[in-house]
Structure 1
């Protein structure tokens, strides 16, 4: 994988839109955007975090700098399929993504703080990941998130991308990409997560569409929303246990 494909720097804006708004947006962008060759495809991720969930808790505090570490695959891989190791950083509103690919079993071993066995062309990228692993010695698989995506790119400017994510699922057990796509949904019913990704200023035609359709940016983060739901479920389980103990002691 060459450096152009393994390094990304861009602005990303998310929008939580209704199914009706989605239909309207698709009609409006038809003249400017083209569906990529994959059509609707499944994206699967395993997010890595510390024992006390430091990375996501820090991210949710809205700092000027934050980062995420994840394994990503397109579809459900087996242990010898290629997957992507990614470090996603955000500084002052700009997203920087560094990634490299390797076989799933080697990636899991590497992120599990085991000696790196496979030869990879981009040695610099591996050194960056090793630096992150040394900074977070208790980094481990924390959450699985998958979703179905439709991705569009600009006909005139391919750096302009719009994605639509549906059926966003998460789980905190069985944390391997090879285990398949299943879990608890986190999107509101009949809503879609739209994301606009650009390297410069937003095109005038796109800003017009958003204004006319009354579509505004949302703070919806897949990992953050899933983590909040996880905390809610944990609190409910704790309360249930407390109530059961109180009943038994009466």
Structure 2
């Protein structure tokens, strides 16, 4: 497993359009892209795999607030893994400037990423390949400059398809999105500690939905534009991290205590 894009690059620049679509529409979307897209090669027989990310933030949740307010220039810092697969860990800085997504990342051994994040461990950087080292330095620079610390684990299933006629175009469905507080550099978590993120109560929808993402370079392919028009899809901002923080705040016993007053606008 490399990445959800199926390739390892230092920097990815693209557009991501998100939609909350009812599960009842998913079969129609699959049918619409049949013949244009193929299932992601890293998924199971249904093109599905799991993604787990550890998000970092400041003590005042500044990155959360920047995303919640949809600031024009904002970023997220996360450690990404693929549970159930033999895969490295990815250190990612995902920046959004208006509609453009610029993501830099470093590929690190699954057994050594915690050592890399420890302050004053330059020896760990030297173990990385030159291209991975550059991404790791950018990641660590953001962590140290903003004094970031582990905050939240987000876990979900992704059903992914990639275009066979475009240089780069992907369509993904994300569902079974859950979150769990995490204040240590650890991607493991107790099974009973997860809190739903895409529940209708959280998404303010009247029926179960999934997150549809259309990813492309420069401009949407004609088949994507036709799909959006035909099904009358409406773009909606959906940050899994922000929804995860909000989901945790709805727990009656943790509304204030668990975040220790950190979520102040």
TM range (shorter): 0.7 to 0.9
Task: Indicate which of 59, 62, 66 corresponds to 1:54.
Answer: 62
Larger radius of gyration: 1
2:260 maps to what in 1? Answer: none
- Please tell me whether the aligned partners of residues 112 and 140 of structure 1 are also in contact (alpha carbons under 8 angstroms): no
2:33 maps to what in 1? Answer: 29
Task: Indicate which of 120, 123, 133 corresponds to 2:143.
Answer: 133
**Matched residue pairs, number?**
235
- Please tell me whether the aligned partners of residues 113 and 133 of structure 1 are also in contact (alpha carbons under 8 angstroms): no
> By how many angstroms is 1:93 displaced?
1.3
1:244 maps to what in 2? Answer: none
- Please tell me whether the aligned partners of residues 77 and 94 of structure 2 are also in contact (alpha carbons under 8 angstroms): yes
| Aligned-partner Cα distance in 2 for 1:24–1:124 | 42
Task: Indicate which of 28, 38, 49 corresponds to 1:41.
Answer: 49
| Aligned-partner Cα distance in 2 for 1:238–1:153 | 42
Unaligned runs of 5+ in 1: 240-250
Q: Secondary structure at the match of 2:188?
A: helix
1:155 maps to what in 2? Answer: 164
> By how many angstroms is 1:148 displaced?
0.5
The C-alpha deviation readout for 1:40-83, integer Å capped at 9, x for no partner, is 101011001111211111221221111111000111579xx620
Structure 2 residue 14 is matched with structure 1 residue 14: no
Task: Indicate which of 193, 199, 210 corresponds to 1:188.
Answer: 199
Task: Indicate which of 77, 81, 88 corresponds to 1:82.
Answer: 88
Q: Secondary structure at the match of 1:178?
A: coil
CA change 1:222–1:106 in 2 (3 A) is same
Unaligned runs of 5+ in 2: 201-207, 258-265
Q: Secondary structure at the match of 1:179?
A: coil
| Aligned-partner Cα distance in 1 for 2:151–2:183 | 10
- Please tell me whether the aligned partners of residues 17 and 215 of structure 2 are also in contact (alpha carbons under 8 angstroms): yes
- Please tell me whether the aligned partners of residues 106 and 116 of structure 1 are also in contact (alpha carbons under 8 angstroms): no
2:102 maps to what in 1? Answer: 96
2:241 maps to what in 1? Answer: 223
Q: Which has the higher helix share?
A: 1
- Please tell me whether the aligned partners of residues 195 and 247 of structure 2 are also in contact (alpha carbons under 8 angstroms): no
CA change 1:230–1:34 in 2 (3 A) is same
